[in-house]
Homo-oligomer: A and B are copies of this chain.
């Protein structure tokens, strides 16, 4: 690999001058600068981020922690889309993205924080993870700039989807279609699901609707199989609901399967609604009523926030950024008025 030293030799200048020329500093003569730049190009020079980062303590590299049930979160449609948008934004600003190693096999294992120091990340983004994990908390309590997605630490900035508003809108829509017996197969207990559940009950209350406690079923998230079981249970009740909500679109698809296995059809017999608004939702038959989360905006906001925290740590405020979703009416909720 050709280094600044090689260029310096060829141009008969010192390495310092090469560095200054390539970084467009002002204490280099015009001709020298051009000679150096030309020579660098001719010799096929490319800078070495390792050396640069070592010296400057800035790696222009960002760590990402997406761990979902032992996997990377890549296979999670919603988070993959958020990450894609996040990545595009930081890359436009000259940063790169590296996964924080979450292998449990390697001995000795580095904790998330150790790994972040090891790689010298300028900042870290975390999402799609168990936020009560001690390692995650250790990372959050460090001095590394950090943003979270869909979760808020009290001493860090984060971007959250407006789950309360989203669920409120969805529920109002469903109630407006005449539904009163509404069940909810919600995900595991997290900040996200808690907000949605609160909105769910709020809208019921405002409309003086009462439902049996066990219309709300906990613990199925992104699992079509578990969801189907819950749905089966709901459908087998004598007081069967007219509409079932799910924590995400995949679960909703599981619900639809269940309904059909019972010889019922959506939305004629049972109405179904999801959450997330994955691309597929609109293409299902019937198209799924859901809330589309603005993954593009979420990723971009998280990126901008993190870059600001890195580059202007002094002036950047701690902030919770809320991104609204939009109702996608679809055809899976019937009007039973």
- Tell me the A residues contacting B by CB distance below 8 Å: 1, 46-51, 53-54, 59, 61, 71-72, 74-75, 77, 80-81, 83-84, 87-88, 91-94, 96-99, 101-103, 105-106, 110, 113-114, 117-120, 224, 250, 253-254, 256-257, 260, 279-280, 283, 285
Q: Are the CB atoms of A253 and B283 closer together than 8 Å? A: yes
Residues of B within 8 A of A98 (CB): 61, 96-99
Q: Are the CB atoms of B46 and A117 closer together than 8 Å? A: yes
Residue of B nearest to A53 (CB): B50
Q: Are the CB atoms of A280 and B280 closer together than 8 Å? A: yes
Q: Are the CB atoms of A119 and B96 closer together than 8 Å? A: yes
Residues of B within 8 A of A51 (CB): 54
Chain B CB within 10 Å, residue with most, of A72, A94, A120:
A72
Residue of B nearest to A94 (CB): B106
Q: Are the CB atoms of B72 and A87 closer together than 8 Å? A: yes
Q: Are the CB atoms of A80 and B74 closer together than 8 Å? A: yes
Q: Are the CB atoms of B71 and A88 closer together than 8 Å? A: yes
Q: Are the CB atoms of A80 and B87 closer together than 8 Å? A: no
Residues of B within 8 A of A250 (CB): 280
Q: Are the CB atoms of B80 and A105 closer together than 8 Å? A: no
